[in-house]
Chains A and B, each alone.
Chain A
Amino acid sequence: AQSVTQLGSHVSVSEGALVLLRCNYSSSVPPYLFWYVQYPNQGLQLLLKYTSAATLVKGINDFEAEFKKSETSFHLTKPSAHMSDAAEYFCAVSAGNNDMRFGAGTRLTVKP
């Protein structure tokens, strides 16, 4: 079975600072990994996904994540935070059967 652990339920950064959201996964098979963002009262929007094509994955809005098998990690980064990035971020893992397991989420706050 697969699972995801997101380290830090709340992360606060200043506008313009680096964003780093941590995700570690557990999977018995090569995983598919995803990052989603959720704005208040909305569904989830895909930021990026890893499907073994490349370890560094670029997503929308300048987000990127690096798959590190040795560390079982898939941390999300963005070089410069914008106020509009304030939202909840979810890391998810799937074994390729559409049974997607989500982390508990990290709420990102961006301070002016």
Chain B
Amino acid sequence: KAGVTQTPRYLIKTRGQQVTLSCSPISGHRSVSWYQQTPGQGLQFLFEYFSETQRNKGNFPGRFSGRQFSNSRSEMNVSTLELGDSALYLCASSLDPAGGQETQYFGPGTRLLVL
């Protein structure tokens, strides 16, 4: 099976712009979670989508948003970029956790640099 894929892998933007990142989960996985990784704050949970619905949300401002499509692919959007948004954005997919199958499989990440 193909793993989690994320596009693009690298991105450079300037302050005030917006950006959209894409994540394709492992085939059959219906849950997609997003994380932000920075040297200062470490790995922080952004949000999780399941069946096109946001099910969990971390403590991030409203500039960070996401969505999930019917094929489970997910996008996250960051509007009005700030320098502090520079980070590695990781996407993870998993099966429906109702049965305890909660292993999250991570993609390689998108590295965003905001200038």
| A contact residues vs B (CB 8 Å cutoff) | 32, 34, 36, 41-46, 49, 51, 90, 94, 96-105
Verify if B22 is at the interface (C-beta below 8 Å from A). no
- Taking CB atoms, residues of chain A closer than 8 Å to B44 are 102
Name the distance in Å between B93's Cβ and chain A's nearest Cβ.
10
Contact of A43 among B4, B45, B97, B103 (CB under 8 A): B4
Interface of B is mostly: strand
Q: Are B58 and A96 in contact (CB under 8 A)?
A: no
Q: List 17 A-B contacts (CB under 8 A).
A: A34-B103, A34-B104, A43-B4, A43-B107, A44-B90, A44-B92, A46-B105, A49-B103, A51-B102, A96-B102, A98-B102, A100-B45, A100-B104, A101-B45, A102-B35, A102-B42, A102-B44
Q: Are A99 and B45 in contact (CB under 8 A)?
A: yes
Q: Are A97 and B56 in contact (CB under 8 A)?
A: yes
Number of B interface residues at 8 Å Cβ cutoff, please give it.
Answer: 26
Q: Are B106 and A99 in contact (CB under 8 A)?
A: no
Q: Are A102 and B102 in contact (CB under 8 A)?
A: no
Verify if B25 is at the interface (C-beta below 8 Å from A). no
Verify if B33 is at the interface (C-beta below 8 Å from A). yes
Q: Are B31 and A98 in contact (CB under 8 A)?
A: yes
Q: How far is the CA of A34 from the CA of B102 in the complex (A)?
A: 10
Kindly report which residue of chain A lies nearest to residue B105, judged by CB atoms.
A46
- Taking CB atoms, residues of chain A closer than 8 Å to B31 are 98
Q: How far is the CA of A97 from the CA of B33 in the complex (A)?
A: 11
Q: Are B102 and A94 in contact (CB under 8 A)?
A: yes
Q: Are A97 and B42 in contact (CB under 8 A)?
A: no
